[in-house]
Chain A
Amino acid sequence: MSRVLRIGNGAGFWGDNLDAPRLLAESGQLDYLTLEYLAELTLSILAHLKSRNPDAGFVTDFPTVLSSLLPALQSQPQLKVVTNGGGMNPTACARAVSSILAAGGLPDCRVAAVSGDDIFSRLDELQATGEDLRNFDTGKPLGDLRSQLASANVYLGAAGIRQALEQGAQIVITGRVADASLTVGPALYEFGWSDTDWSRLAAASVAGHLIECGAQVTGGMFSGWETDPPLANVGYPIAEIDADGRITITKPAGTDGAVTVDTVAEQLIYEIGDPQHYLTPDVDVDFSQVRLTQTGTDRVEVSGAIGAPAPPTYKDSMAYRDGYMATGTLVIYGPNATQRARQCGEMLLQRVRRAGHVLARTNIECLGSGQVVPGVAPPVEAPEVVLRVTVQDPSKAAVERFTREFAPLVTSGLPGVTGYTGPRAKPWPVLAYWPTTIHRDRVQPIVEVKSASAWNS
């Protein structure tokens, strides 16, 4: 039997459970632990942090998690960690992590920073030489928004991760790479696959897609539970991959949750578009014929992914500044709670107008009355509802004024208003999403590998 690579994913987003990576590394018998931290707009937030402090701009959960992984790294010399937690600043992240490794008795551990995805400083040059940066969802040209851009990051593929591993890295820290590439990179390196071996790349990409959201494939979020199960100790997922691209999804024994054909099916369709073209920088995957087979308790074999050549362009995720937002809540109790909540919300917005501010966008929600998905659940008379009012406006002062209008409603609004005890809501700057593409030959990964002690010398 050929060798089986075990890749576990211990984080599905920045803010995921802090103990999950350690628990998975301790019990998963892993070759690789991946940690996926970057949602669509995480990088724009990190860009803002980096603009204030040149040593910031990476996912601060990662050094915390890495500290918890020191015993596992010491007792399991084969274990490697691959993460996109470098965010906007993989080299600063590598330095931070290297101090922890050096102080933790692992000064020789080799740490890689993989960058090159951040093309913000090159946008003028790229535009001048034929990249039009059109929004691929709406077809709109970038136009005046150019001056509002805050970040621009290309989704790189597995190549940079492979190069880092070839140079002996045990910890690989990337900026933006496609989520699935965190899994594809180790498989490419370990099995020596060609980067045009589309069917194996497709299989590994499906594996990466299935584990990238952590416990969402092991029973978290599963809509098919017949009775609500305990999930406090839910197991995080492991993908087993062999040299031929055979895939099994599983989880550590003795953990909560389940890996069944049904939990895996739900994650297979999670956040995909056209299943015949799941595009990654590594391969164009056809999910439509994927089949799932239960091969044991908490073991599901995944087969049938079809690969086609990778697209000629990289996805480039940009963010532009789009004014300010704020949201606030109150609780409205008593008869006609829903109707009175709406009236309170309207009163609040009237007072903002009276103060001379016309807010660009406003929304009133009466939560508890079926408005989370409007028009679906039949209306019921709720004994109380949560009034949530959210606004957006180019003027920070207007949004600031809005946040002041919640507290007065407790005394100067309708009866039954409560729930105003916390600090006042604060306006936050909105960073809006502008997805576009860049031709592949314009961007290359930059790989730097050094020992932990050398990163800070």
Chain B
Amino acid sequence: MSNTITLSEIAHARSGDKGNHANVGIIAWTDAGYEYLGKVLTEPRVAEFFLPLRPKQVQRYELPGIRAYNFMLNDVLGGGASRSLRIDSQGKTLGLAILRMEVPTPPNIAEMLRPATV
């Protein structure tokens, strides 16, 4: 077993813009995965991951009903949809980006993988 996994193994995600802020929502496939995300996906960890975007603030919110965390990344879009000089002016790609984050392989990884679809 490898020492690390990427979040894509235990979660899916979507991101978008709110003015010059981006939101990144990440949803665990299972309850065990949600619990683990709660431990590893701290505000400082997410801020560090997106450091090149220079977030002014990172705020984490919980949506336990759908096993999700929502992160608000303040002032990361280079001015927002109309002023940003970047190609991804609306933060559409940040969801797939966060799924590349490497985290330690949890001992109960098997309980976190996506359940087989019926």
Contact = CB atoms under 8 A, between A and B. Distances in A.
Contact of A275 (B63, B67, B114): B63
A261 to B, nearest CB: 8
B34 to A, nearest CB: 12
Contacts of A271: 16-18, 23
Nearest to B21: A137
Nearest to A136: B19
Contacts of A441: none
Given A262-B27, A273-B23, A433 B64 contact: no
A433 B80 contact: yes
Interface string A386-401: 0010111000000000
Given A269-B25, A361-B85, A392-B83, A221 B14 contact: yes
Contact of B82 (A226, A391, A433): A433
Given A274-B61, A288-B64, A290-B63, A374 B53 contact: yes
B78 interface: yes
A269 B63 CA distance: 9
B51 interface: yes
Interface in A254-294: 261-262, 265-276, 287-292
Contacts of A373: 50, 52-53, 88, 93-94, 97
A372 B93 contact: yes
B95 A223 contact: yes
A27 interface: no
Interface in B58-80: 59, 61-68, 70, 72, 78-80
Given A224-B12, A262-B12, A363-B78, A272 B85 contact: no
B82 A432 contact: yes
Interface residues of B, number: 47
Contacts of A322: 83
Most chain A CB within 10 A, of B21, B65, B87, is at B65
Nearest to B101: A376
Interface in A293-331: 304, 319, 322, 325, 327
Most chain B CB within 10 A, of A273, A289, A322, is at A273
Contacts of A372: 87-88, 93
Most chain A CB within 10 A, of B12, B52, B100, is at B12
Contact of B19 (A272, A287, A435): A435
A272 B71 CA distance: 9
B85 A390 contact: yes
A81 interface: no
Given A137-B21, A363-B78, A430-B83, 16 more contacts: A40-B81, A262-B12, A273-B21, A273-B72, A275-B61, A288-B61, A291-B65, A292-B66, A319-B82, A362-B85, A365-B86, A372-B88, A372-B93, A377-B97, A433-B81, A433-B82
